């Protein structure tokens, strides 16, 4: 029984690791690891790309607050799956040669799908898997595993890009450019992450109570504390900087 529970926790945290990195792969990996091809394919300058990410940042910032309101009302597993499916579906927009206006709209959408519907459920699920004794271990595996997952998937993306780039030199009129093959790969991996969560992430038993409204004044008082606001803002800034590097 104990070994079975440990196995379920292990496979659950692995599914969160994959989901936790794949959710950001379409918005960040392509522009980060394949930037020259990304810019040339969509006719963007670095400044215009920065403008696109500005819209993502604003949307994501709002998403943290909206996500906190819905996480306790819905099953985290369901929210994570919806978030991955929506983010992966948004990747198809990149295949239609969008203008910068469409890119700004897409990244605004991704700001909500990757943060509002995902981040709080990810944290809640990780805490659930870690239990009362192993939360530090669970979060350590999550952060370290995301880095390893990013390296592996990015290496696969580079391999796909390089092979298709060589093929394009011999067949310049092929239907797909190398960067489009990479986008398709990341869309596929995002959907695979959603499937992993569906199959292996344990559902959290409902703990919904009727005292959420009664606690609202306490939460408002908490928001008035300068130290709390400063810590929250500091955490948001750190996360945005880490994702942007």
pLDDT of residue 132: 77
Residue 170: C-alpha distances to residues 134, 159, 164, 173 (Å): 54, 17, 10, 9
pLDDT of residue 69: 85
pLDDT of residue 211: 44
Residue ranges for the chain with pLDDT beneath 50: 173, 175, 209-214, 245
Residue 65: C-alpha distances to residues 57, 61, 68, 77, 120 (Å): 13, 7, 5, 19, 10
The domain spans of the chain are: 2-208, 211-245
- Domain 2-208 belongs to what topology? Growth Hormone; Chain: A; (1.20.1250)
Q: Model pTM?
A: 0.82
Q: Tokens standing for 200?
A: 């292996």
Q: How many helices (H) and strands (E) does the chain have?
A: 11, 0
Q: Tokens standing for 33?
A: 């690891």
pLDDT of residue 210: 46
DSSP state letter for 175:
S
Residue 152: C-alpha distances to residues 43, 143, 157, 207, 224 (Å): 29, 15, 9, 37, 43
pLDDT of residue 177: 80
Cα–Cα dist 9/144, whole Å = 16
Q: Summarize pLDDT for 216-242 with one digit per residue, the tens.
A: 555 556 555 656 566 666 666 655 555
């Amino acid at each position: 029984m104990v070994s079975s529970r440990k196995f379920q926790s292990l496979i659950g945290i692995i599914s969160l690791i994959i989901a936790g990195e794949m959710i950001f792969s379409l918005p960040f990996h392509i522009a980060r690891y394949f930037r020259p091809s990304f810019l040339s394919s969509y006719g963007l300058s670095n400044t215009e790309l920065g403008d696109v990410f500005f819209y993502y940042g604003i949307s994501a910032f709002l998403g943290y607050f909206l996500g906190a309101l819905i996480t306790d009302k819905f099953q985290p597993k369901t929210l994570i799956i919806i978030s991955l499916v929506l983010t992966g579906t948004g990747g198809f927009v990149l295949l239609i040669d969008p203008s910068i206006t469409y890119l700004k709209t897409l990244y605004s959408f991704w700001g909500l799908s990757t943060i509002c519907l995902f981040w709080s459920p990810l944290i809640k699920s990780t805490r659930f898997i870690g239990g009362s004794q192993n939360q530090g271990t669970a979060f350590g595996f999550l952060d370290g595993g995301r880095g390893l997952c990013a390296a592996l998937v990015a290496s696969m993306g580079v391999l796909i890009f390089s092979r298709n780039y060589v093929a394009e030199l011999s067949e310049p009129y092929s239907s797909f450019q190398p960067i489009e093959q990479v986008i398709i790969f990341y869309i596929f991996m995002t959907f695979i992450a959603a499937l992993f969560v569906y199959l292996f992430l344990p559902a959290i038993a409902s703990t919904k109570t009727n005292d959420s409204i009664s606690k609202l004044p306490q939460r408002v008082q908490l928001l008035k504390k300068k130290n709390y606001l400063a810590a929250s803002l500091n955490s948001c800034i750190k996360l945005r900087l880490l994702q942007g590097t």
